[in-house]
Amino acid sequence: MKIAAIINPVSGAGADTAVAGRRIAMLRAELERRGLTAAIDLTMSAGHAKQLAAAAARDGADVVIVWGGDGTVNEAGSALLNTRSALGLVPAGSGNGLAGALAMTRDSTAAIAVALDGRTRAIDAGLIGDRPFFNIGGIGFDARVAKLFNLRARGSRGGWPYISIGIREGCRYAAEEYELQLDGEPRRLRALLMSFANGREYGMGARIAPEAELDDGILDATIVEERPILARFWHARHLAFGTAHLAPHVIVRRVRHASVESAGPLEYHVDGEPGIARGRLEVKVLPRALNVRVA
């Protein structure tokens, strides 16, 4: 088995500068126990994981182990789309949404064992514009939160900053007017957020789409229409606990294709990585486009 490994030395590391060395040592020990070797690289900047994963796939890697958070996984997975190389996931970020959708252990040694000894499963990928996502992509409020969270310095992230940003933006975010089509059905509405879920949760257990399946060829769309500020917070519990369908003025649909159009800029995110577009965004699903290693 040909193996490559990509380690983000800062995901989940806080201010601990010795994390990278410990991760390399742990991975090498698990490889040696099995009589295996791997090319191990550390990411140096944004976009580097995608470059490293693409090179590993071209080199014929059977498994590309990615040790990092949702952003690192998104970069690497984007490069592995429609290749024979399988993604082995060692979660180490703030949310770890895809790891949650895969019921992946957060214990690093056990996760390495799954990457090396597990089976390969093909899962779907979503697209917003030309950017893939594997867990959740969204437009609106959650994209704004993702943007502000990603502006925080390394070592100052984690669960609480995400919550505090969400509370602050929940008080001041201005909903936008959208022209929306869900599998060709048109709607015009003012929405706080539009979430397209391949996996079930944002991360940290917040289950926006509890019925989502990673390999069913469908995205679970949740559209939250505008409401007064106090109602935003009261109804937000439904988005966290998997009962979005019980909140008023929420559209829950299973779709293969959507388009979203607005007169202003469209803030969006793919697996928590922010972006901005103008005019129209197309959302679609790529069935079983990514191989992952699972228990």
Strands 257-270 vs 136-140: parallel, antiparallel or unpaired: antiparallel
Q: Is 13 domain-assigned? A: yes
Q: Is 124 domain-assigned? A: no
**Per-residue model confidence as pLDDT tens digits over 212-235:** 999 999 999 999 999 999 999 999
Same domain, 187 and 144: yes
Burial class of residue 125, CB neighbours in 10 A (0-12, 13-18, 19+):
buried
**Does the structure show a pLDDT above 70 at 259?**
yes
Q: Is 292 domain-assigned? A: no
**152 — pLDDT class (breaks 50, 70, 90):** confident
Same domain, 75 and 200: no
Same domain, 143 and 261: yes
Same domain, 146 and 72: no
State the pLDDT at residue 159. Answer: 66
Q: Is 125 domain-assigned? A: no
Q: Count the neighbouring beta carbons within 10 Å of the beta carbon of residue 200.
A: 24
**Does the structure show a pLDDT above 60 at 184?**
yes
Burial class of residue 51, CB neighbours in 10 A (0-12, 13-18, 19+):
middle
Give dist(CA 218, CA 133) in Å, integer: 13
Q: Is 122 domain-assigned? A: no
Of 93, 117, 141, the last residue of a domain is: 117
Of 48, 82, 117, the last residue of a domain is: 117
Same domain, 79 and 146: no
Q: Is 294 domain-assigned? A: no
- Identify the CATH number of the domain in which residue 70 sits: 3.40.50.10330
Of 117, 145, 178, the last residue of a domain is: 117
Task: Give the pLDDT mean for 235-241.
Answer: 86
Task: Give the pLDDT mean for 152-170.
Answer: 75
- Identify the CATH number of the domain in which residue 238 sits: 2.60.200.40
Kind plus residue range of the DSSP H or E element containing 200: none
| This prediction's pTM | 0.91
Same domain, 162 and 18: no
Task: Give the pLDDT mean for 189-204.
Answer: 91
DSSP state of 111: H
**Does the structure show a pLDDT above 60 at 18?**
yes
Same domain, 157 and 279: yes
Q: Report DSSP letters for 176-194, one per residue.
A: EEEEEEETTEEEEEEEEEE
Give dist(CA 226, CA 170) in Å, integer: 11
Q: Count the neighbouring beta carbons within 10 Å of the beta carbon of residue 225.
A: 16
**Per-residue model confidence as pLDDT tens digits over 278-287:** 999 999 999 9
Number of structural domains in the chain: 2
State the pLDDT at residue 217. Answer: 97
Least confident of 102-106, 174-178, 260-264: 102-106
**Per-residue model confidence as pLDDT tens digits over 36-52:** 999 999 999 999 999 99
Percentage above 90 pLDDT, the chain? 78
- Domain hosting residue 86, numbered range: 3-117
Same domain, 80 and 162: no
Q: Is 211 domain-assigned? A: yes
Same domain, 159 and 232: yes
Q: Count the neighbouring beta carbons within 10 Å of the beta carbon of residue 91.
A: 27
- Give CA separation, 84 vs 3, 75, 259, 288, in Å: 12, 17, 30, 12
DSSP state of 257: E
Same domain, 231 and 107: no
State the pLDDT at residue 86. Answer: 98
Same domain, 220 and 150: yes
Same domain, 103 and 234: no
State the pLDDT at residue 93. Answer: 81
Q: Is 38 domain-assigned? A: yes
**Per-residue model confidence as pLDDT tens digits over 66-90:** 999 999 999 999 999 999 999 999 9
Mean pLDDT of the chain: 92
**156 — pLDDT class (breaks 50, 70, 90):** low
State the pLDDT at residue 245. Answer: 86
